[in-house]
Amino acid sequence: MPPRKPSLDRSPAPEKRKVLMTVTAPSRPPSAAMRGHARRRGRRGLLGWLYATPTAVFVGALFVVPLLLVVKMSLSRWPLLTGDQGINVPDNFTKAVDHRFFTDSVVFTVKYTVLATVLLLALGLGLALLVQESSRWNSLLRASFLIPSALGLASASLLFYVLYSPYASPLAPVMESLGFTFLGSPTAALLSTTFLIVWRYAGFYMVLMLVGLQGIPADVYEAARSDGASRWQTFTKVTLPLLRPTLALTTVLCVTGSLLAFEQFYILTKGGPDNSTITVVQLIYMVAFQGQNDLGVAAALSVIVLLALIVMNALQLRAFRTEER
Amino acid sequence: MRKALGRRTALRSMAAVLVAALTLGAAACSDDEPAGSSAAEAGPEGVDDGSELTMWTRAPLEKQAKLLVEAYNASHQNKVNLTVVPNDDYVAKVGAAAGADGLPDLFAADIVYVPNWVNQGLFQDISANINGLAFKDSINKGHLSAGTVDGKAHVLPFVLDLSMLFWNKQLFKEAGLDPEKAPATLQEYATAAKAVQAMKKEGVYGTAAGLNCGGCLVFTWFPSIWAGGGEVLSEDGKEAKLADDTAQQVYRTWNDLWKSGAVLPASEGETGPTWTAAFTEGKVGLMFYPATLLSSTPFDVGVAGIPGPDGGASTFVGGDGIGVSKDSKKAAQAWNFLNWMMSEQAQVEVLAKNKDVVSRSDLASNKYAAEDPRLVTINEVAGKGDTPVALNFQQAFNAPGSPWLTLIRNQVLTGSGDLQKDNGEITAVLQQ
């Protein structure tokens, strides 16, 4: 332990601030700190703003401005090729909701999200429990579960595009003899894409779960064991409740990610077969760039999705918080 | 007090930045008239003064575009920088650039999108220059009229891509068919496909089609309807006629082929990127195939026009038109490229030499065509072909999930669905 630390802990609050001040401004004599109390607070406020500025600029330029632009687009007639043609509230929103794929895409996205979230969380937790103890084989297992996460989603999708192709795939003979293709029917396409996502993300969720599991103190388990709890009881009464913050985080991540699914379907199925796998984001892309070429309607869809996501995330966080107390 | 002031100023300055950013963004979206010299002022030849020109094209025509650009750069002081964009991203890229006034000097467009893009003002009017061409009347009519709005021409044919019936002579021989004789009707086509399939050769199929690719199906199946005397669209491009008798006969033949198992199974999900691959690898007996791929097909193929249900022959005169963009400040130099592109030098010594179709009918019987009778066939059928013109063509036909795809998949894959209703959906989109 460094020798300076105990004295710092024991020192009264102003003293501590002085130490901090000398860290930020070493040349400043300690007596000046006492005299210019008000000025210092003003300076600190300014300093705070200064520190926050880079983030604020980034958030402003990369998030707030584009967001306002999207909102403006959603309220205007805005074809892709000619640009802004003036306000037309609320045409874009009625057109977006009346789009012939709107309901289908919402239903499909929700279906996909439920499937992906259940599979990923269950598998992530299962894998984490499996490799929790560190031994030589487990670290090998951990690494191999995590490796797919190093691959970009688009690259992974391309890899599976070839793997699933009845023409170029090494599995082509199997498909031919079984008379079945991975992307040929709506159900097969959904399951095949979900498999890709599980393969790609299971390792990532395993790592998140592992961090959560390792945050649970060992003595709680010890106490449970000395109380004679069975393994199942330990899992449901100790592990799961204490894992709740991690579960909240992973659920939010997984649900949000799945609702915004795009690349995998864009590359693997293009919304097919027979328009059965169109996600909401894909619909936005289609409206904007593939045919309708209407940025206004696409922006209206984006705003709807954004609002839905905000509501859903708020609900999820609240659900996990109230149960915690 | 000071602190509060500080915070307020900070807030105020942030708001100012926001407002500034927004106005900038809004200003970037307002229209500007293109400055610089116009093409017409530069005279019939355009200007060749060592300028750098930018040009975009989509990937399927990469080979032809590269040959043209290389030949132009080698013989001129102007330099054309070619950018090739993947087919699926092309509309998005052009749209984004058009909104930001950042279009390249020259850009090619799928001829079926040209009417819409010209209407949206993406191309400059070059009718004065085109009217000055001595051979104006022999330029491909379909392409020229697609780019003409209110009597003003904006677009010249860049590369003509015709859909033709290709057959693999080796596989025909093995299947006991006459390798020198093309199937004369759609029925004979189906019979030939089944004969190739009946050999039960490992990995070999009778025929193939891009059954989940609206553009491929437009390109390959419209000609069957035309050859049978039918129409696909009304004159004004606002009404679909894809439930008529001839069209139904075409669907029935393909439905029968699909059920018989003579179609490459991958066709069912084929969205376009690899729709010709199996034929090019020699694994498909016969297929409706783009003529631009003739030079890159490595084995002996026969070529004929696409037959209708009772014979006849037609083709889809597709490919890309090219024009000077609204944002180009070097229109005179860009016209120099277009003028050269239409010259005999470029048409014969670059395109025809590469076994491509020339876009001028007066050059159809050139020395390269004389060497390869297949090119004569292609050039002949080109005169009988058609290019459909409709403003909402992309959304009705080419887009993933288009009503045209729904119609085809219902008719051919499942053999069900209400044809009149599906056709009505296409009309509804065309009329938007």
Interface test with chain B among A41, A59, A82, A295, by most B beta carbons within 10 Å: A82
Instruction: Enumerate the residues of chain A whose CB falls inside 8 A of the CB of residue B6.
Output: 42, 45-46, 49
Strands B106-110 and B52-58: parallel
Of the pLDDT bands very low, low, confident and very high (cuts 50, 70, 90), residue B24 is very low
Instruction: Name the residue with higher pLDDT: B400 or B223.
Output: B223
A-chain residue closest to B122, CA distance: A81
Give the fold, CATH level 3, of B40-161+318-384.
Answer: D-Maltodextrin-Binding Protein; domain 2 (3.40.190)
A-chain residue closest to B400, CA distance: A270
When computed from its CA atoms, the radius of gyration of chain B, rounded to whole angstroms, is: 24
Instruction: Point out the least confidently predicted range of A181-185, A293-297, B48-52, B158-162.
Output: A181-185
**CB distance from B91 to chain A under 8 Å?**
yes
pLDDT of residue A34: 52
Fold identical between B40-161+318-384 and B162-316+391-430?
yes
CB contact at 8 A, A274 and B268 = no
Top-tier CATH class for B162-316+391-430: alpha beta
Q: What is the 3-state secondary structure (H, E, C) of B131-164?
A: HCCCCHHHECHHHHHHCEECCEECCEEEEEEEEE
Of the pLDDT bands very low, low, confident and very high (cuts 50, 70, 90), residue A322 is low
Percent of chain A with pLDDT over 90: 49
Of chain A residues 209-268, which have a CB less than 8 A from chain B? Answer: none
Mean pLDDT of A244-269: 92
pLDDT of residue A38: 66
Contact B25 A288 (CB under 8 A): no
Contact A270 B271 (CB under 8 A): yes
pLDDT of residue B46: 86
Per-residue pLDDT tens digits for B54-103: 999 998 889 999 999 999 999 999 999 999 998 888 988 998 898 888 99
Shortest Cα distance, chain B CAs vs residue A36, angstroms: 14
Give dist(CA A62, CA B18) in Å, integer: 11
pLDDT of residue A323: 53
Instruction: Enumerate the residues of chain A whose CB falls inside 8 A of the CB of residue B399.
Output: 286, 290-292
Instruction: Enumerate the residues of chain A whose CB falls inside 8 A of the CB of residue B406.
Output: 274-275
Of B29, B394, B409, the CB nearest to A291: B394
The size of the A-B interface in CB pairs under 8 A is 119
Instruction: Point out the least confidently predicted range of A86-95, A171-180, B249-258.
Output: A171-180
Of the pLDDT bands very low, low, confident and very high (cuts 50, 70, 90), residue A37 is low
The interface predicted TM-score (ipTM) is 0.71
Domain ranges of chain B: 40-161+318-384, 162-316+391-430
**Considering only CA atoms, which of B388, B415, B406 is closest in space to residue B239?**
B388
Give dist(CA B199, CA B206) in Å, integer: 9
Of the pLDDT bands very low, low, confident and very high (cuts 50, 70, 90), residue A35 is low
What domains are there in chain A, each with its CATH number? 4-74 (no CATH), 102-277 (1.10.3720.10)
Q: What residue type is A141 in one-letter code?
A: L
Of the pLDDT bands very low, low, confident and very high (cuts 50, 70, 90), residue B11 is very low
CB contact at 8 A, B267 and B208 = yes
Residue at token pair 């909701």: A97
Mean pLDDT of A215-231: 91
Instruction: Enumerate the residues of chain B whose CB falls inside 8 A of the CB of residue A167.
Output: 264, 266, 274, 277-278
Give dist(CA A316, CA A319) in Å, integer: 5
Residue B226 has pLDDT above 90, yes or no: yes
pLDDT of residue A84: 84
Residue at token pair 């020192």: A11
Instruction: Enumerate the residues of chain B whose CB falls inside 8 A of the CB of residue A85.
Output: none
Instruction: Enumerate the residues of chain B whose CB falls inside 8 A of the CB of residue A83.
Output: 29, 31, 98-99
Residue B254 has pLDDT above 50, yes or no: yes
Residue B1 has pLDDT above 60, yes or no: no
> Rounded to 5 degrees, what angle do the CA atoms A6, A11, A14 make?
145
